[in-house]
Amino acid sequence: MRVSAWVLAILFSGAMARHAVAAPAPGSASFGDLSATFEAVAARVTPSVVQVRVSSIGPLGEGEGYLGLQRQGGSGVIVSPDGDIVTNAHVVAGARRIEVVLAVPAAGSGPGRSLVRPPGKLVPAHLVGVDVETDLAVLRIEERNLPHLEFGDSDGLKAGQIVLAVGSPLGLQNSITMGIVSATGRQLRPEDRMVYVQTDAAINPGNSGGALVDARGKLVGVNTSIFSQSGGNEGIGFAAPSNIVVAVYQQLKTLGFVHRGDIGVVAQTITPTLAGGLGLDRIWGVILSDVRPGGPAAGAGLQPGDVVLEMDGKPMENGRQFDVNLYRRPVGSRVNLHVSRHGAVRTVAVEVGERDDEVGRMAARVSREGNQVPRLGILGITVDEQLSPMLPWLRAAQGVAVAGLTLPPPAAEEGGLQPGDVILAANGRSVATLDELRALVSGLPAGSSLALHVNRRGRLIYVALEIE
């Protein structure tokens, strides 16, 4: 059945009315009005989305065993006028050099202007920090007064809402596609605390790190991945929600790493069967199956079997929702839980502590200035009696632990160093402190080989690097 253009225009303009930059006047809905709305958003958004070019060391050919310079690319979003750019961690993984291409405004808008945009301005970028868990990274360029996107509220997204994806798919800078929000709070793996916005806006290789914006031009997500059997867009794309992006960005910008909040509980979804077995008065919601002794929740008086009704006034419907809402809470903040115990309801204030994760706790003890080993591309910390309990696989309290990675890392075999590694020796010489490691590495001439003996979660391995 054919549907008239007039009816389609009414439907689209109605969907856009809540978000449009300049909503059409009543009775004047047309495809022209709808097009003008998208044009206005595109003109405002595209200067803030950059192409990211990365040079890295990787294998040349198949089965040759040779390493060489490789180039790859993606997208990034300028989020501050002072040069901060958010992108995906996998876009800059293994980078030796990072550059971004800034959009250059077209000269005029008259009828004689060229349809071919001028080439962008290529500028160097350096890595501020990487968060592998959320697949996010922050870059910085030495440019000022830049066009940038403001963060929107991803919690307010609704399925069916119109969004635009902006990036450089297959190297085609400033490409824009339109779609809708297919779903919110989408997990890519069961029990994963990280959730994504699902969209059918076309996302292809090279879009990673680009912007997902709403019809007001607000950044509501950073495009991250697709589900595809062909390798191209099949209408199932995922973006990191802006509320998680902004929390990670702020910590990477100020600290260089991300603290993970935790209150020391296991939250489980209540099912009818579970409710029947425990004699609960509700067949849905959240129950605490475990409260870790000595943790923040235990200190606040919570117990296994408590039913969580609300978190900071928001009803808790399932365990996944509980974890996701807690995920972006900063360490040291407080959450107010409305809980029921044997029918008695009360509000409990719980301070968010550090997640029980050895690498995160190590990272909390380092600084970019005091712990960097530039020639290794790491943040290191001397293993001592206070640090060794965080690394239970150690055989002795000695060596230098890798608390984080910086750029550029040296060319390496077998993937190089990883957070959590403990360096025991370098070129056959034992390493006891961070100062010893720095002195040994700084004395090597460019082009030298460096063989590090490393404890990687209980396994001793060699990591071979080439020093520049």
User: Which residues carry out catalysis?
Assistant: 90, 135, 208
**C-alpha to C-alpha distance for 188 and 238, rounded to whole angstroms:** 9
Strand partners of residue 262: 353
Counting every residue written for the chain, the total comes to: 468
Structure tokens at 328: 């972006």
**C-alpha to C-alpha distance for 147 and 81, rounded to whole angstroms:** 6
Q: What are phi and psi of 46, to 5 degrees?
A: -60, -35
**C-alpha to C-alpha distance for 34 and 31, rounded to whole angstroms:** 5
Q: 18: closest CA among 157, 209, 179, 115?
A: 157
Burial of 351: CB neighbours in 10 Å, binned 0-12, 13-18, 19+: middle
Written as one letter, the residue type at 318 is N
**C-alpha to C-alpha distance for 348 and 308, rounded to whole angstroms:** 10
CB 399 within 8 A of CB 433: no
